[in-house]
Structure 1
Amino acid sequence: DPGVTFESGDDPQQPAVMMTQYAARQYTKWLSKISGQFYRLPSEAEWEYAARAGSRTAYCFGDDPARLDDYAWYYDNSEDRTHRVAGKQPNAWGLHDMHGNVAEWVLDQYSAHGYSALKDKSSAGKSAIQWPSEPFPLVARGGSWELGAEDCRSASRLASDDDAWKEDDPNLPASPWWHTSSPATGVGFRIIRPLAAPADEPQRARYWDANLVEIEEDVQARLSEQSGALGLVDEALPEAIADLPAR
């Protein structure tokens, strides 16, 4: 529904919201193919490391939520909408909006036990990811314009719920690409380009493609109904688009 998707305006500097984690992963695949670089969503551990920027406090700037207005759009100051990115102060590493505005998808399955599930694993790379084994709950981090200061802490975690987040979806089955209902109205994503890309396509695909049979079946059903389409993407695509005759 464009009335919901663009309820905060259609400014291109507004954060994108309401996509599923799968759709966000597919965007990183598209961007990687069209640019020749490797992009993906961050893991939960990578996201928090970047958000904290060396801090050990509740927020990147300290423990006092009274200072959050300087760093985040959240329930108390957002006026019930998202805002242009980078409108507040960055953290110590120059990253904006790690607190508030929109929560951000990460790769991980949500676990109430948090990082304790990783205690016997290496802290490096894919070993520090809780790869999803169920469609939800997945993790979004950072809090959003519709959440309070407590939910914007560096350690705060938001668990997705497809049943609730797609409650207003008129499609049956519900879209594998979009959510329709709050709090998904405050969920977007941030991408990273790691220093070392996975060595081969199967390893890269794990970060990009449907990693659950349920998602793949939903996508194939939509394609068979012509509710979606596949397309070829490579580094030559932008030039090919530019060469199309004007309509």
Structure 2
Amino acid sequence: MSAISATSRAEVTAQKSPPPVKVAAAEATAPEEMKPYTEQLTGTKVTFDMVPIPGGEFVMGSPEDEADRRKDEGPQHRVKVDPFWMGKHEVTWDEYDNWSFRLDIQRRKLEKLEPTDRDRLADAVTRPTAPYTDMTFDMGHDSYPAISMTQLAAKMYCEWLSEKTGRYYRLPTEAEWEYACRAGTTTAWSFGDDPEQLDEYAWHYGNSGEKYQRVGLKKPNPWGLYDMHGNVAEWVLDQYVADFYGTMPQDKAAVFPLAVPKTLYPRVVRGGSWDDEADRLRSAARRG
């Protein structure tokens, strides 16, 4: 990952069996039924918000005349995206620690609570070895985005979250991430083409004080998602393939394009980070 700070931003669809934890508006049988909802991790006070993303088509990648464009951002191509939910904020340490440090299991033992069927399923998900150092690097913990995990760890966290709640959480594909980031826009950033406005929407090298920041302090994009530009870069499902866009059809929209991982590295992160210049925070910017 080099110097990138990476986090997962969970995407979810409904799962029928075993029965999910009851949460209002967390399931839908039709796109028009999709509504925002708040998930609470059972046995904790930790919650996170999910935002419905409407389905549709968009043009992925950057035009050849976009400032600071890189070759791997083209050629542009149309992509069809189904509706899904996406995390309103980057996944925080408050959420992630329950899995990585087994806080949910420890809490049950301290309070002498019997695990539920969902707890038992979640407990079976592989968890990481305890780190040898403070992975926040003294940059902040409560309400700060979780960083420094591998893509595999981010995927395993989503698997644990799925078992814990009964809803299918996963990392978004690269196409889904860009679609959600753009939020219907075609400009370099979701707020337009003027980098002078970046401070209102993102933490980047010029304003971050050389550290990541608490989630949700800047303005959201048009679909209500925070920190899609900057703060910490975000894992997606795809393998990084520099010329992947060249394999997309030009006469019709691609459906669920995914560069299926075939080697251990590299994998894609999106969004740029607190340590990046403005051009790396553009909606189309890729890094692997």
Q: TM-score surpassing 0.5?
A: yes
> What is the match of residue 95 of structure 1?
225
Q: Give the deviation of 1:4 after TM superposition.
A: 4.5
The yes-or-no answer on 1:85 pairing with 2:181 is no
For 1:3 and 1:30, how far apart are their aligned partners in 2? 22
> What is the match of residue 154 of structure 1?
283
CA contact (8 A) 2:203 2:274 kept: yes
The yes-or-no answer on 1:39 pairing with 2:169 is yes
For 1:56 and 1:63, how far apart are their aligned partners in 2? 9
Q: Deviations over 1:33-76 (max 9, x none)?
A: 01000000000000000000011010001111110000000000
SS in 2 for 1:56: coil
> What is the match of residue 24 of structure 1?
154
Q: Give the deviation of 1:158 after TM superposition.
A: 1.3
The yes-or-no answer on 1:68 pairing with 2:162 is no
Q: Give 5+ residue unaligned stretches, structure 2.
A: 1-131
The yes-or-no answer on 1:51 pairing with 2:181 is yes
> What is the match of residue 14 of structure 1?
144
**Divergent runs of 4+, >4 A:** none
Q: Deviations over 1:94-125 (max 9, x none)?
A: 01000000010000011112422333896333
> What is the match of residue 200 of structure 1?
none
CA contact (8 A) 2:244 2:259 kept: no
For 1:48 and 1:147, how far apart are their aligned partners in 2? 18
The code of the aligned residue for 1:27 comes to Y
Q: Give 5+ residue unaligned stretches, structure 1.
A: 160-247
For 1:35 and 1:4, how far apart are their aligned partners in 2? 26
For 1:101 and 1:134, how far apart are their aligned partners in 2? 28
Q: Deviations over 1:178-232 (max 9, x none)?
A: xxxxxxxxxxxxxxxxxxxxxxxxxxxxxxxxxxxxxxxxxxxxxxxxxxxxxxx
For 1:145 and 1:117, how far apart are their aligned partners in 2? 32
Of 255, 258, 267 in structure 2, the residue corresponding to residue 124 of structure 1 is 255
Q: Give the deviation of 1:29 after TM superposition.
A: 0.3
In structure 2, relative to structure 1, the CA distance for the partners of 1:22 and 1:4 (3 Å cut) is closer
Ranked by relative contact order (alpha carbons within 8 Å, sequence separation 6 or more), the top structure is: 1
Count matched residues. 156
For 2:145 and 2:206, how far apart are their aligned partners in 1? 19
The code of the aligned residue for 1:147 comes to D
The structure in which a higher percent of residues are strand is: 2
Please give the residue correspondences for 1:192-207 in structure 2 after superposition, counting only pairs within 5 Å: none
The code of the aligned residue for 2:133 comes to P
> What is the match of residue 198 of structure 1?
none
Of 105, 111, 117 in structure 1, the residue corresponding to residue 235 of structure 2 is 105
The structure in which a higher percent of residues are helix is: 1
For 1:117 and 1:51, how far apart are their aligned partners in 2? 22
For 1:14 and 1:25, how far apart are their aligned partners in 2? 19
Of 126, 131, 139 in structure 1, the residue corresponding to residue 268 of structure 2 is 139
RMSD of aligned residue pairs (Cα, Å): 1.6
SS in 1 for 2:287: strand
CA contact (8 A) 2:239 2:267 kept: yes
The code of the aligned residue for 1:64 comes to D
TM-score scaled by length of structure 2? 0.52
For 1:4 and 1:75, how far apart are their aligned partners in 2? 20
